[in-house]
Amino acid sequence: MPKETPVLAVVLAAGEGTRMKSALPKVLHTVAGLPLVGHAIRSAQEAGCNRLAVVIGPDRPDVAKAVAAIAPEAQVFEQKERRGTAHAVLQAAPAIEAGCRALVVLFGDTPLIRAETIRALADSVAEGGNAVAVLGFEAADPTGYGRLLTEAGELVAIREHKDASEAERQVRLCNGGLMALRGDIALDLLRAVGSNNAQNEFYLPDCVSLARQRGERATVIRVPEQEALGVNDRVQLAACEAVLQKRLRETHMRNGVTMIAPETVYLSLDTEIGRDVVVEPNVVFGPGVTVEEGAVIHAFSHLEGAKVGRGASVGPFARLRPGADLATKAKVGNFVEIKNAVLGEGAKVSHLTYLGDATVGAEANIGAGTITCNYDGYNKFQTEIGAHAFIGSNSALVAPVKIGDGAFVGSGSVVTKDVPANALAVARGHQVVKAEWATHFRARPENVAKAAKKSGA
């Protein structure tokens, strides 16, 4: 088959995942900010699989929607009856019939499979002279796993643990589930799989014996046990999260990021961090975060859907929500929350502030306790703060409102009207001072009696 013929990845994502004990389908539980099924899809894409099919369970528009968001080009097929893995792959028969050099079968609950592993599986059947390639790993404890039985370097059979002899149970090479089939034989093998077993189901591993009966070769692509780790419950979900977080941290650190306590930093798969960024302990990067060179993310900060510019400073104890955009050398300090707001170059929001739906000009200074009142219970409104403006502490800016370049807002003001450039706005009640009022207040008989009682007189 010509080399330009596509490699097709079929991702099986129809399992119910009952052991997760969740209303959410198993494949939509997340690891590193991405649904489990998304990891299989992204690895397939990175491996060069130029066609994608995903098999989902019946009445699962939520899974179909998630797949479309991650890979709009993927074909989605429904497995109405759960009759085994080979049966599931055959639901994507229209995609297979369109032709491929290699068919790679992936699982939506194995998020640690690397792109190079998928590529090795595909190349083994497309160019390596094999009809079938199976993922295998050496298990520390092989109990319960299907065994991969080999002779002279070739895979001759896959034996389920319950069917294995005592000698076969000593084999530590186990079935990792993933499989590649050569494109010209894939449909024939899948359609030849029978259901003559206790469960009356059609099993993908049977493709090995069927291929060998036809004089074809099968082989094993070996990976570390950790890479083949699947998710069946929340304990395994956490185990996969730990493995992937370690991978991500190491990748970022090798690319020039300093993590003071890396084991306390949590990243998303799509987190982008530039060189010479310093990340202090207990920082969480949700999906969609970009941090440019030389920025500092201080301890206990949480970022999601945010961009942090070159040399900017965030935290400690800061929260950047989706749409937060910090320009070069901007500063967001402790207990500050930014949502859908742009901070200009050198702008400072140092502490105890909420800015939502706002733009802040270059070198502006936002005092402690300032908030943008952006929501009236029905609609959101914008606040615009000009360059070099100064907003005094404990001010409330009621949107929609504009504070001009270089303008000042007095501390404690509630600003409801636009403030022109270089003007001063003070919007608060006048202070009244009554001399000796406190002395007379304390001298009232009832207050004297209470004070005596407090002191124990």
| Chain segment 380-390, per-residue pLDDT in tens | 999 999 999 99
What is the model's pLDDT at position 431?
Answer: 85
- Side chain identity at 200, as an amino acid letter? N
- Cβ atoms of 264 and 133 within 8 Å: the answer is no
Superfamily assignment of 7-228 in CATH? Spore Coat Polysaccharide Biosynthesis Protein SpsA; Chain A (3.90.550.10)
Alpha-carbon distance of 408 to 8, in angstroms, equals: 62
Give the whole-angstrom CA distance, residue 345 versus residue 109.
Answer: 44
Report how far residue 182's alpha carbon sits from residue 349's, in angstroms, rounded to the nearest whole number. 59
Does position 56 have pLDDT exceeding 80, yes or no? yes
Tell me: pLDDT of 2 over 60: no
**Quick check: 146 pLDDT over 60?**
yes
List all residues 6 or more positions away from 224 whose beta carbon is below 8 Å from its beta carbon.
137
User: CA 358: distance to chain centroid?
Assistant: 27
pLDDT above 70 covers what percent of the chain? 99
The closest of 151, 286, 176 to 227, measured between CA atoms, is 176
For residue 256, what are its two tokens? 């020039």
Q: What distance in Å separates the CA atoms of residue 22 and residue 106, rounded to the nearest whole number?
A: 23
Which residue in the list 29, 252, 298, 351 is annotated as catalytic? 351
Spell out the CATH class of 254-425: mainly beta
12 Cβ contact list (under 8 Å, min separation 6):
55, 85, 88, 89, 105, 106, 107, 108
Dist. CA 325–CA 328, nearest whole Å: 10
Please provide the average confidence, as pLDDT, over all residues in the chain.
95
Q: What is the pLDDT of residue 327?
A: 98
pTM of the model: 0.90
Q: Which are the contacts of 226, defined by CB distance < 8 A and separation ≥ 6?
A: 112, 243
Would you list the domain boundaries of the chain?
A: 7-228, 254-425
Neighbours of 98 (CB within 10 A): 12
Own/partner long-range contacts of 63-68 (Cβ < 8 Å, ≥24 apart): 63/13, 63/25, 63/27, 63/28, 63/37, 66/27, 66/28, 66/35, 66/37, 66/38, 67/13, 67/37, 67/41
| CA-based nearest residue to 105, from 185, 28, 49 | 49
Pairing state between β 154-159 and 147-151: antiparallel
Residue 430 — very low, low, confident or very high, per pLDDT cuts 50/70/90? confident
| Report for 109-118, 136-145, 197-206: range of highest mean pLDDT | 109-118
Please give the biggest Cα pair distance in the chain. 109
Q: Taking the mean position of all CA atoms in its chain, how far away is CA 169?
A: 38
Tokens read off for 150: 């080999």
> Rounded distance, CA 106 to CA 127, Å?
20
List all residues 6 or more positions away from 281 whose beta carbon is below 8 Å from its beta carbon.
Answer: 260, 261, 264, 265, 299, 300
Lowest mean pLDDT among 71-75, 353-357, 433-437, 450-454: 450-454
- Annotated active-site residue 161? The verdict is no
State the average pLDDT over residues 57-61.
93
